[in-house]
Amino acid sequence: MDESLALQPKEMYWSVLGMMNNPWYRVVIHHEGDTLRFEHPTQPTLNSGGWMERVKKEGGNLANGFWGEKIPGAEEAVVEKEAVKEICMVDDKVTRLITFEELREHEGEEEPWFVVNGQVYDGTPFLEGHPGGAASITGAAGQDVTDEFLAIHSENAKAMMPTYHIGTLTPSALAALKSSSNSNATLNDPNRPIFLQPKTWSSATLTSKESISPDTKIFHFTLSHPAQFIGLPVGQHLMMRLPDPSKPTESIIRAYTPISDSTSERGTLRVLVKIYYASPAEDIKGGQMTQALDALPLGKAVDFKGPVGKFVYQGRGVCSVNGRERKVKRFVMICAGSGVTPIYQVLRAVAVDDQDGTECLVLDGNRVEGDILMKRELDEMVEGARPEGRCRVKYTLSRPSEEWKGLRGRLDRSMLKRELGGPDLRGETMVLLCGPEGLQAMVQEVLKGLGWKDEDVLVF
């Protein structure tokens, strides 16, 4: 009961306004040998698990007045498992056969075609609005990108593919495409000056792992030779590929933004990765890629491809979005957790150049102080930027300690309204956003409500 004598009810029910009131918060206690395990209703962020999900999977009714527990005398619920639906990515009406020569005519930046599972798709409609930018499409042009497409695209994206299906690659064309990917001596030359290649995977050797928090590490890779540049523009990311430990014939592919300074570092590549560990007791599978990378022995090779992304910071207030140049005078950068990596890259490019008059405000949200990644490096960048005060970083914690002197609370509407306010009507301010999907959706919705235009908000 609170100060207004409102009683927190035991049962959950839906009000007339369609809002669930705040019932008792129940934690399930499991007796496991000499220990007790506490199971919460749900898991944090977007992770699956928790006793509510378990009860629903077992056919329990969470609103039956018994918190999903079986009611004495009630009939057992029959739980039917939903069949896994196979997503069709082809248009059955398309019967065109495409030769290797035809595919080669579309390996450039205009009218790019790409191949997935032997089927040919026209990527031209994606050049403007693809989340990964036009580079992700042109980099796939004329290539068989089956592994990376299936690994990184959502079910919704796969379901859209029949619209862009234009034909099937002939068997001879498929064989020629496979052999051509390994025959280009220039692309496979280990002495080339630039490591990353947009159409070809390049291998680097894992040389060390540096722990910077209980669940985050910086992975250090050695490139082909000490003088080799990474070749990653500021604000872009790369693709990383590892063999799947559970399925040796398949690969795991994910996108990451390195923390290396591509303008000055040579021969090495540093990637900050948050490890999502499995927890069988809580039915949490963990991150497939991050756990595989964490378990990889030193000395093993890892494949990279890139650069990918629609945003590039060219320096001194000039940036490029989907190939279109834009001038900004102020960046507002919003991030959480490992979403700090692209923010870190752009902030570093702005802060180290005393001739760059661009202002920066970073809002970094986390749970506790130990979760703030790269804090020392961020603080040093801000302190070293000239003139003083040109770059600022503000940290906010949802579970701060009593000694915490920064902002308190989540990155929510009130905080965004207070720190950002309304949009820059002159169009000289740009918001850069990176973090969990839930945070991204919330920030975009709030900023839209405050009057910010879509073109002024960029999501990495």
Active site residues: 237, 256-257, 434
How many angstroms separate the CA atoms of 342 and 243, rounded? 26
Contacting residues for 106 by C-beta, under 8 A, at least 6 apart: 112, 113, 122, 141, 142
How many angstroms separate the CA atoms of 326 and 313, rounded? 10
Single out the residue of 436, 216, 460, 210 nearest to residue 342, CA to CA. Answer: 460
- 394: Cα within 13 Å, side-chain hemisphere: 18
Q: In this structure, are strands 318-321 and 324-327 parallel, antiparallel, or unpaired?
A: antiparallel
DSSP three-state, residue 283: coil
Residues 237, 352: contact at Cβ < 8 Å?
no
Q: What are 65's two structure tokens?
A: 């007045």
What distances in angstroms separate CA 222 from CA 120, 202, 219, 261, 301, one per listed residue?
36, 12, 10, 14, 9
How many angstroms separate the CA atoms of 196 and 154, rounded? 25
- Per the listing, tokens 């590929």 go with 241
Q: Exposed, middle or buried, 24 (CB in 10 Å: 0-12/13-18/19+)?
A: exposed
